[in-house]
A = this chain, B = another copy of it.
Amino acid sequence: MGEFALIDEIRRRCALARPDVVLGIGDDAALLRVAADQELAVSMDTLVAGVHFPLQTEPFDIGWKALAVNLSDLAAMGAAPAWATLALTLPQADRDWVAAFCDGFAALARPHALALVGGDTTQGPLSITVTVHGFVPAGRALRRDGAQPGDAVLVSGFPGDAAAGLTCVLASALLRATAEAERAELLQRVNRPTPRVDLGLALRGLATAAIDVSDGLVQDLGHIAARSGVAARVEAEQLPCSPALAAVGDAAQRRQWQLFGGDDYELCFTAPPAALPAVHAAAAAAGVPVRVIGRIEAGSGVRVCDADGAEVSLQRGGWEHFA
Q: Which residues of A contact B (CB under 8 A)?
A: 1-4, 6, 22-23, 26-34, 36, 39-46, 48-52, 73-74, 76-77, 79, 83, 85-87, 89-90, 92-93, 117-125, 127, 129, 131-134, 136, 138, 141, 143-145, 210-212, 227, 320-323
Contacts and interface: CB of A to CB of B under 8 A. Distances in A.
A33 B38 CA distance: 8
Contact of A321 (B30, B43, B123): B123
What 6 pairs across the A-B complex have the smallest Cβ distances?
A48-B124, A93-B322, A29-B43, A28-B76, A29-B41, A34-B34
Contact of A39 (B22, B28, B132): B22
Contact of A40 (B32, B77, B79): B32
Quickly give the copy total for this chain.
2
Contact of A125 (B33, B43, B124, B129): B124
Given A129-B87, A322-B2, A73 B41 contact: no
A64 to B, nearest CB: 18
Contacts of A39: 22, 31-33
A115 B58 CA distance: 37
A73 B119 CA distance: 12
Contacts of A44: 85-87, 118-120, 129, 131
A207 to B, nearest CB: 12
